[in-house]
């Protein structure tokens, strides 16, 4: 019993640690992008300032919204936080609470609420963003499930912490490399990064994830952004722990992952909306090949 409590405690601490560092990772991605464009860029701490700024500002609600509108950011943030406690990371105790399927659908729950809220204010941009978000997530989901299947075939378990790359065995395999590339592609789509979505744009007509947040302000907005930053670091942690077949400390993997996202976002522009299925189809094929190779 005591060991279980310690495990849960350690997981909670990990969630908080990831929460604290999440805005920093987002800041690093933005800094890398700025430097690659020969701009000086904002400080890597800018995302902390932004979160504080939104937190202090008043929250404006239109009279046409329901309770969903207030509930959604909270659910979105909490699901990201719960996901952060589940990923196999730095602090994992004897017992693991992180089942892969629960992890995937916890995040899906957050997304579900965000799409509901996007329609709640009944603005055209919100509805457009919501419908596109569902379109992308429908394509992302099978890819993520396949990515998890590879590891559960290899390690005979669906518990996330038991899927962590075992560096003692043969870990640098074709299957691992394919899965690594594919998971990275899926990660970009899942976190609304280029080339699937453009996190920096002000053009409402092109937005996916940002389109859903247009009606938000103040604390609710800061919760959504914090949730998004958290999701990036959660995916980078998962990516590092499960899919990067190189034996270096996890923190460095996360950092490297952030830098690579920055580079990829600089090298790419946003693709046509209907090409996203080709992109995610490619990732799915990679993962199928990885399973066959396994």
Partner 1 sequence: MLTTIMPEAILTAAEKYSAKGTHPLTAMFGRDETVFGEGYAIYCYFEVPETKSVDGFKVVFRPESPLEYDSITHIVPAAAWYEREIHDMFGIIPKGHPDLRPLVLHESFPEGFFPLRKSVKVNAKVRGERKYKIRTAKGEGLFEVPVGPIHAGIIEPGHFRFSQAGEAILQLDAKLFFTHRGIEKAVEGKTPYEALPIVERICGACSIANTWSFCQAVEKIVGVSVPRRAEIIRTLLMELERITNHVGDLGNIPAGVGFNPAISLGGRLKEKLMRLCEAVSGNRFLRGVIVPGGVAMDIDAALINHIREVIDDVTDGVEDLSIMFSEQENFQNRIQTTGIIRNRTAVDLAMVGVGARASGYAHDSRSDFDYGVYSELNFKPYTKSMGDVAARLLVRIGELSASFEMVDKLLDMLSSCADTALNVELNYIKGEGWGISESARGSNFHYVALDAAGLIDRLFVRSASYPNWPALTVAVQGDIIPDFPLINKSFELCYACIDR
Could you list the residues that contact partner 1 (CB under 8 A)?
A: 33, 36-39, 124-125, 128, 194-195, 198, 200-206, 265-266, 268-275
CB nearer to partner 1: pick between 46 and 173: 46
How far, in Å, CA of 109 to CA of 75, rounded? 8
Which residues are 159's β-sheet partners?
99
Compute the least distance from the CB of residue 15 to partner 1, in Å: 32
CB nearer to partner 1: pick between 206 and 217: 206
How far, in Å, CA of 92 to CA of 110, rounded? 24
Compute the least distance from the CB of residue 196 to partner 1, in Å: 11
Establish whether the linkage from the previous residue to 218 is cis, with ω within 30° of 0. no
DSSP category for residue 215: T
CB nearer to partner 1: pick between 99 and 204: 204
CB nearer to partner 1: pick between 215 and 265: 265
Compute the least distance from the CB of residue 256 to partner 1, in Å: 21
Compute the least distance from the CB of residue 202 to partner 1, in Å: 4
How far, in Å, CA of 276 to CA of 65, rounded? 31
CB nearer to partner 1: pick between 131 and 158: 131
How far are the Cα atoms of 75, 208, 217, 218 from residue 122, in angstroms, in the given order? 20, 16, 16, 20
Compute the least distance from the CB of residue 210 to partner 1, in Å: 10
Q: Quick check: 84 and 25 in contact, CB under 8 A?
A: no
Phi, psi values for residue 159, rounded to 5°: -80, 130
Compute the least distance from the CB of residue 206 to partner 1, in Å: 4
CB nearer to partner 1: pick between 89 and 199: 199
CB nearer to partner 1: pick between 48 and 135: 135
How far, in Å, CA of 190 to CA of 209, rounded? 10
Q: Please write down the long-range contacts of 93-96, taking CB distance under 8 Å and 24 or more positions apart.
A: 93/3, 93/6, 93/7, 93/8, 93/9, 93/10, 93/11, 94/3, 94/4, 94/6, 94/7, 95/3, 95/4, 95/7, 95/8, 96/7, 96/159, 96/160, 96/161, 96/162
Compute the least distance from the CB of residue 273 to partner 1, in Å: 5
């Amino acid at each position: 019993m005591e060991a279980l409590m310690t495990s849960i405690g350690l997981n909670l601490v990990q969630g908080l640690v990831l929460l604290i560092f999440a805005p920093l990772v987002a800041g690093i991605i933005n800094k890398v992008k700025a430097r690659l464009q020969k701009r000086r860029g904002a400080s890597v701490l800018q995302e902390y300032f932004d979160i504080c700024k939104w937190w202090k500002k008043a929250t404006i609600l239109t009279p046409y919204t329901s309770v969903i509108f207030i509930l959604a950011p909270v659910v979105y943030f909490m699901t990201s936080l719960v996901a952060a406690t589940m990923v196999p990371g730095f602090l994992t105790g004897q017992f693991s609470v992180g089942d892969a399927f629960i992890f995937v659908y916890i995040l899906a729950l957050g997304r579900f609420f965000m799409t509901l809220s996007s329609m709640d204010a009944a603005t055209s941009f919100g509805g457009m963003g919501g419908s596109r978000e569902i379109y992308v997530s429908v394509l992302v989901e099978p890819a993520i499930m396949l990515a998890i299947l590879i590891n559960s075939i290899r390690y005979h378990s669906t518990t996330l912490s038991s899927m962590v790359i075992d560096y003692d065995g043969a870990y640098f395999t074709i299957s691992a490399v394919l899965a690594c590339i594919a998971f990275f592609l899926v990660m970009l789509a899942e976190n609304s990064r280029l080339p699937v979505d453009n996190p920096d744009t002000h053009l409402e007509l092109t937005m996916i994830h940002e389109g859903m947040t247009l009606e938000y302000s103040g604390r609710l907005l800061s919760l959504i952004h914090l949730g998004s930053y958290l999701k990036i670091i959660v995916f980078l942690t998962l990516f590092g722990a499960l899919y990067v077949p190189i034996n270096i400390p996890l923190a460095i993997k996360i950092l490297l992952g952030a830098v690579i996202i920055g580079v990829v976002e600089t090298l790419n522009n946003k693709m046509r909306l209907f090409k996203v299925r080709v992109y995610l189809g490619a990732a799915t094929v990679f993962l199928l090949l990885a399973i066959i190779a396994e």
